[in-house]
């Protein structure tokens, strides 16, 4: 009688790499027994091409100094990886380059990878195939991004003592994750770390749409910036904010001739209207905000440009309602013709898909993540 072979039991390795493969950037780091922010690294998830045709891959773009008319190629579209050729080039540069801070040997590393909720089976299969055949990590686990948020030490955010890092972490019992990122915004209710599938809701408004909308506004009112994605995205992050009184702020920045609609000049300019100085890549300067000077703006209209005290000629844009009209799309997509509910209504739609007994616990444990949550006034408005 032939001898039965015993299956080989492979032990779990100590080194684990966690990768949040976002549309705009990759957040990755190695698991540590004493975690801190320095363990996490942010890598641009894109390929970029300069005007002189030079190609930058992933984190290499941090060494670039001229972003003028730079073209970007992103492997993630609408939240899903659709171009593994480009993604693999970024991963190779990040995880296989000996000079990288995240360099590792896949054979000796466990991988925890995130994906967007409701990813199709075909895209999941493509991802698994790349992981197993191209990288051959020792072990591999794929999760939706919001489910990992349930394992945060959430009570520590509210002043409770930190939990013991030596004991296995238990997920929060009830957690409502609002993730507003580059491609879209997703509402994901979690119960004991597991998503409640029928209550997941998605809003197709994210940072990419806001940047494109700002490009159109600035190209119509100021300079042609259609091909300046990096410049406009940087300006959006620096000057935009979420208004808690949209109608009143719109009146304060009104430029019409009707005296009934115009407010006193001092109140009109206060806090909202600013001048944004465009970056000068030749001089190595970045975009800057400064208080609006109406007299300076009038002189620039006649002269075309203005020299600063150092004698350097600078271009700037006067920004008013653009500052809050762009983020307003998160709360009112109908402003650009999108027949979708805003973020607060989407949250309520998600709650309506849950048993009412879970509503109090979900509303008491809301976690907001994503780049759009960094807008000033976002949390107060939500």
* pLDDT tens over the chain, length 382 residues: 555 555 555 566 788 999 999 999 999 999 887 777 888 899 999 999 998 889 999 899 988 888 888 899 999 998 899 999 999 999 999 999 998 999 999 999 999 999 999 999 999 999 999 999 999 898 999 999 899 888 877 666 666 666 666 666 778 889 999 999 999 999 999 998 899 999 999 999 999 999 999 999 999 888 888 888 999 999 999 999 999 988 888 888 876 444 444 455 445 445 788 888 888 887 777 888 888 777 765 555 545 555 555 555 678 888 888 999 999 999 999 988 888 999 999 999 999 999 999 999 999 989 999 999 999 999 999 8
Distances (CA, A) of 279 to 124, 223, 297, 314, 319: 41, 13, 18, 8, 15
pLDDT for 116: 92
Helices 207-221, 229-239: inter-axial angle, 10-degree rounding: 100
The pLDDT, as a whole number, for residue 75 is 94
The SS3 assignment for 211 reads helix
What pLDDT score does 333 carry? 92
Q: Alpha helix (H) ranges present in 69-133?
A: 84-91, 121-130
Q: Pick from 317, 196, 234, 182: which is nearest to 67 by CA?
A: 234
Phi and psi at residue 68, to the nearest 5°: -65, 125
**Do residues 168 and 139 lie in contact, with contact meaning Cβ atoms separated by under 8 Å?**
no
3-class DSSP state of 238: helix
> In the prediction, which pLDDT does 257 show?
42
Ordered alpha helix ranges (H), the chain: 84-91, 121-130, 145-149, 207-221, 229-239, 246-252, 265-269, 294-303, 322-325, 343-352, 359-364, 378-381
Long-range Cβ contact pairs of 77-82 (< 8 A, separation 24 or more): 77/23, 77/183, 78/183, 78/184, 78/204, 79/23, 79/116, 79/181, 79/183, 79/184, 79/186, 80/115, 80/116, 80/119, 80/120, 80/123, 81/21, 81/123, 81/126, 81/127, 82/123
For residue 376, with 0-12 CB atoms within 10 Å meaning exposed, 13-18 middle and 19 or more buried, which class applies?
Answer: middle
Taking each helix axis as running N to C, give the angle between helix 84-91 and helix 121-130, from 0 to 180 degrees, rounded to the nearest 10.
Answer: 40
In sequence order, what are the residues at sequence separation of 6 or more whose Cβ sits closer than 8 angstroms to the Cβ of residue 319? 239, 273, 274, 275, 276
How far apart are alpha carbons 261 and 242 in whole angstroms?
A: 22
Which pLDDT belongs to residue 239?
92
* CA–centroid distance for 295 within its chain: 37
pTM given for the model: 0.85
pLDDT at residue number 259: 42
The reported pLDDT for the residue numbered 264 is 52
């Amino acid at each position: 009688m032939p001898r039965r072979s015993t299956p080989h039991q492979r032990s779990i390795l100590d080194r684990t790499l966690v990768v949040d493969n976002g549309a705009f950037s990759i957040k990755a780091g190695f698991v540590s027994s004493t975690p801190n922010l320095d363990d996490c690294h942010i890598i641009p998830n894109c390929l970029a091409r300069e005007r002189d045709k030079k190609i930058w891959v992933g984190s290499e773009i941090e060494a670039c100094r001229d972003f003028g008319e730079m073209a970007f190629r992103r492997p993630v579209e609408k939240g899903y990886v659709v171009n593994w050729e480009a993604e693999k080039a970024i991963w190779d540069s990040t995880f296989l380059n000996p000079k990288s801070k995240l360099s590792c040997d896949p054979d000796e590393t466990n991988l925890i990878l995130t994906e967007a909720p409701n990813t199709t089976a075909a895209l999941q299969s493509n991802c698994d195939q790349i992981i197993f055949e191209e990288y051959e990590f020792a072990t591999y686990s794929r999760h939706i991004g919001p489910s990992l948020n349930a394992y945060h030490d959430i009570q520590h955010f509210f002043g409770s003592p930190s939990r013991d890092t030596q004991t296995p972490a238990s997920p929060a019992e009830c957690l409502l994750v609002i993730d507003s990122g580059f491609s879209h915004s997703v509402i994901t209710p979690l119960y004991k770390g597991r998503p409640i599938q029928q209550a997941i809701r998605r809003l197709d408004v994210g940072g990419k749409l806001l940047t494109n909308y700002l490009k159109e506004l600035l190209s119509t009112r100021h300079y042609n910036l259609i091909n300046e994605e990096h410049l406009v995205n940087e300006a959006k992050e620096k000057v935009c904010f979420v208004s808690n009184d949209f109608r009143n702020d719109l009146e304060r920045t009104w430029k019409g001739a009707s005296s009934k609609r115009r407010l006193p000049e001092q109140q009109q300019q206060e806090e909202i209207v600013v001048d944004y100085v465009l970056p000068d890549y030749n001089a190595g300067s970045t975009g800057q905000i400064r208080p609006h000077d109406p007299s300076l703006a009038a002189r620039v209209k006649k002269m075309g440009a203005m020299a600063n005290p150092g004698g350097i000629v600078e271009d700037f844009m006067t920004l008013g309602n653009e500052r809050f009209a762009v983020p307003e799309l998160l709360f009112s997509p109908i402003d650009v013709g999108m027949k979708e509910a805003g973020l607060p209504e989407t949250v309520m739609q998600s709650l309506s898909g849950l048993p009412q007994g879970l509503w109090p616990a979900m509303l008491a444990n809301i976690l907001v993540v994503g780049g759009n949550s960094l807008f000033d006034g976002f949390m107060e408005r939500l």
